A and B are shown apart, each in its own frame.
Chain A
């Protein structure tokens, strides 16, 4: 039986994003614009994405979408790299791009008086980048340095090894930021071609939140981006499923000279659109987040004192992103930590969470909304989520009821569908483990 909502924190609907205070428009070229006014501070956030990501990348060209996104602000038909950044930094604003498997995201911030400037710059770098050869080379060198650093970072190396175990033959096994080999092989022409084919207004979402009126924001966006058309725009391909693991898969990567190992244990989890997503998210909170790290934190950190951090996470994006537990432990304690975590996963898929656990986590999911939605960043992120996962403008108004309706049985069923202590990918990176296989 669902718990009555009255037992949970009560939210003032006027403070939540909803149909009464979100303005949503779709421009003629397909761009969706969402605006919410907030005059608490004289600033504004602009965030969103275009539908171009690294889903089609292979080991050979991994990092293409990322290098393309990183090059956008390095020169356009009208301005040089230095002029572009002078215009942004001299007004205390910021604008940046990053790309993942499914999207290229952008994020900007400015004083409200400078929104027009920021929007025009966004349009210019999306539509007219020139990818100057010397700038591409400089960015490549910076990214190669970043990869050198990544390849010595125990957490990042463990996560990469985990992806390779969990997603064999699947796009998610290919690192989004590439490898030293793939990055070295990318040519300027590859960037130009990726931009030409994949960048366009279809699938683009833009959220503006802050001290700006809805109509004013719409006018500025229409002026900057309303005439962008790209009839042949390539849209991302359909993503294949990630077949579940059949047994434990283990990989140890030795990084000499380190003090601590990072470990990642987990599986391919539900996507955001999976009916099991919300039960999984609540269950994940019980497993490895609530309070300081939930059950996993209690077992590994509080009781055994093995780790400074040990928690679980559920990515829940467009595809079957990881549902995993991570921990940083001394090499002598790796096997003990792995067994403790497997034991917690075993308990999680065998018995329902307790009624008290369910209730306190439901209260937490509802009660944390005011804090999540306090600053412009949080509100803008929520608007983008509403749009990209088709949640509806009244999502946050309905959310407390949806959370309250989740049952212990639903959490157990979702946990059993995805997790098993005997079918996990386990990746460890750090100093050599004595007597370990891998």
Chain B
């Protein structure tokens, strides 16, 4: 049965602000998102983590909505709000009962230009963000991933973690943050996505009234430094507390707009299990994936996973394994290499292709239960491609052939194009 939703309305205000609207009448809710085309991809050494910190500061108030008032007002109305900073973008959303959404519209229009960046708030947020980073550092997989990414990108800003390097978190100033905000938080660098229980015409009028009066300014588009080709496998290891060895592999992957992204998504599904594309709603188990059969049923690993991310510039296709106690990481690596070799040498089975497509279809259906998730896709897809990318996703997966999968395995899963990262546990801790 088709959900009662309308086609997407696309428009652009005179100040350059892009708008996408989709009426969906399944629940009395509206999800409102503002996307800015700025993330860690736009950062340079010295101010790594600045996009994420600016995101935090956007919750610290404007003259009209002082800090704390916003939280209370949205919670009071039964809303949900949050924000995310990623490599390529920063996004803010509010999902509210439909008759309460105006608060979110007013708030987002206001903080696009009037966020305060009070020095005292900057100071207290510095320690909060350092605490956030320290929390990550407690996780072996964060520490391993950080080294892996740094090894995979020497030039491109995908090199550093979104939270930023500690040295920069300690030295960045209020003026750095404010300059970043003024440079990137302009209508011409933003996109509004709204989905839910509203009528397009009055919603558009309201958006024009609130956002249309924000002056037009040119957005900063600093040149992104492309990453040169890799010319050989890179290996890194991290030592740290614990009893568990982790192995992570990262191969150079195509950008989301590349036609090769779709066969690689099918490959990921077959090799490591179907990844959920949704922000809300979990994935599926991967116990029939090739790597699970080889490594977990082969008693080499406790778990395996794959990770393909939609990005503007070519990023990484990741494979990870939690190594079983008593097993050497090298044995797990050999097991992965054998499976990759198989993908490069032999065409996949027809039923593997059918399965990958059905899994994607099911996850699209699960994702459509949530209006927040639908609004997320309305904006997210525009950050690295456009909404047609999302709408055509299943169709493009259906067109993938066994030969396409073999070709992308041969093209992208070459050992000279990868980083192998190993976490080596040193024991420690007096236990509970």
A144: nearest chain-B partner, CB-CB: B325
**With contacts A42-B1, A258-B138 known, is A253 near B285, CB below 8 A?**
no
Can you identify 29 A-B contacts, CB atoms within 8 angstroms? Answer: A40-B4, A81-B287, A82-B288, A89-B286, A89-B287, A89-B355, A94-B285, A142-B296, A142-B302, A145-B303, A151-B243, A151-B432, A152-B429, A164-B432, A255-B428, A255-B430, A256-B429, A257-B428, A257-B429, A258-B138, A260-B135, A291-B68, A291-B72, A305-B124, A308-B129, A367-B78, A367-B79, A371-B29, A375-B369
Chain A residues contacting B28 (CB-CB under 8 Å) are: 12, 15, 370
* CB <8 Å contact, A292 and B71: yes
**With contacts A82-B288, A157-B432 known, is A148 near B243, CB below 8 A?**
yes
- From 365 to 398 in chain B, residues with beta carbon under 8 angstroms from any chain A beta carbon are 365-366, 368-372
Q: Which of B80, B243, B351 contacts A152 (CB 8 A)?
A: B243
A141: nearest chain-B partner, CB-CB: B324
C-alpha spacing A82/B293, complex, angstroms: 9
B362 at the binding interface (Cβ < 8 Å): yes
* 5 nearest CB pairs, A to B: A367-B78, A92-B362, A291-B71, A305-B124, A257-B241
Interface centre among A111, A291, A371, A373 (most CB of B within 10 A): A371
Interface centre among B80, B129, B243 (most CB of A within 10 A): B243
Chain A residues contacting B241 (CB-CB under 8 Å) are: 152, 255-258
Q: What total count of A-B pairs have CB within 8 Å?
A: 236
Chain B residues contacting A259 (CB-CB under 8 Å) are: 133-135, 137-138
* CB <8 Å contact, A301 and B128: yes
**With contacts A9-B97, A374-B369 known, is A149 near B131, CB below 8 A?**
no
A290 at the binding interface (Cβ < 8 Å): yes
For the complex, count residues of B whose C-beta is within 8 A of A: 83
C-alpha spacing A304/B361, complex, angstroms: 47
C-alpha spacing A370/B29, complex, angstroms: 7
B292: nearest chain-A partner, CB-CB: A85
* CB <8 Å contact, B370 and A375: yes
A31 at the binding interface (Cβ < 8 Å): no
A366 at the binding interface (Cβ < 8 Å): yes
* CB <8 Å contact, B27 and A9: no
- From 64 to 105 in chain A, residues with beta carbon under 8 angstroms from any chain B beta carbon are 81-82, 85-86, 88-94, 96
- From 32 to 57 in chain A, residues with beta carbon under 8 angstroms from any chain B beta carbon are 39-43
Chain A residues contacting B127 (CB-CB under 8 Å) are: 305-306
Interface size class of A (residues with CB under 8 A): 35 or more
* CB <8 Å contact, B140 and A253: no
C-alpha spacing A161/B130, complex, angstroms: 26
Chain A residues contacting B429 (CB-CB under 8 Å) are: 151-152, 157, 253-257
Chain A residues contacting B135 (CB-CB under 8 Å) are: 259-260, 308-309, 328
* CB <8 Å contact, A371 and B78: yes
**With contacts A85-B288, A256-B241, A367-B77 known, is A111 near B365, CB below 8 A?**
yes
Question: How many Å from the CB of A332 to the closest CB on chain B?
Answer: 11
Chain A residues contacting B100 (CB-CB under 8 Å) are: 9, 367
Question: How many Å from the CB of A391 to the closest CB on chain B?
Answer: 20
Chain A residues contacting B296 (CB-CB under 8 Å) are: 138, 142
Q: Which of B68, B78, B128, B354 contacts A366 (CB 8 A)?
A: B78
Question: How many Å from the CB of B143 to the closest CB on chain A?
Answer: 10
Chain B residues contacting A307 (CB-CB under 8 Å) are: 128, 131
C-alpha spacing A290/B135, complex, angstroms: 23
Q: Which of B242, B284, B302 contacts A146 (CB 8 A)?
A: B302
B67: nearest chain-A partner, CB-CB: A302
- From 359 to 391 in chain A, residues with beta carbon under 8 angstroms from any chain B beta carbon are 360, 363-364, 366-371, 373-377
A254: nearest chain-B partner, CB-CB: B430
**With contacts A92-B284, A258-B138 known, is A367 near B243, CB below 8 A?**
no
Seed contacts A290-B72, A375-B281; 8 additional CB < 8 Å A-B pairs:
A89-B285, A90-B288, A90-B354, A91-B358, A94-B282, A145-B324, A258-B241, A367-B78
A211 at the binding interface (Cβ < 8 Å): yes
C-alpha spacing A303/B288, complex, angstroms: 50
Question: How many Å from the CB of A152 to the closest CB on chain B?
Answer: 4
A147: nearest chain-B partner, CB-CB: B243
B139: nearest chain-A partner, CB-CB: A153
* CB <8 Å contact, B244 and A149: yes
Question: How many Å from the CB of A346 to the closest CB on chain B?
Answer: 22
Chain B positions 409 through 425: 1 when the CB is less than 8 Å from some CB of chain A, otherwise 0 = 00000000000000000
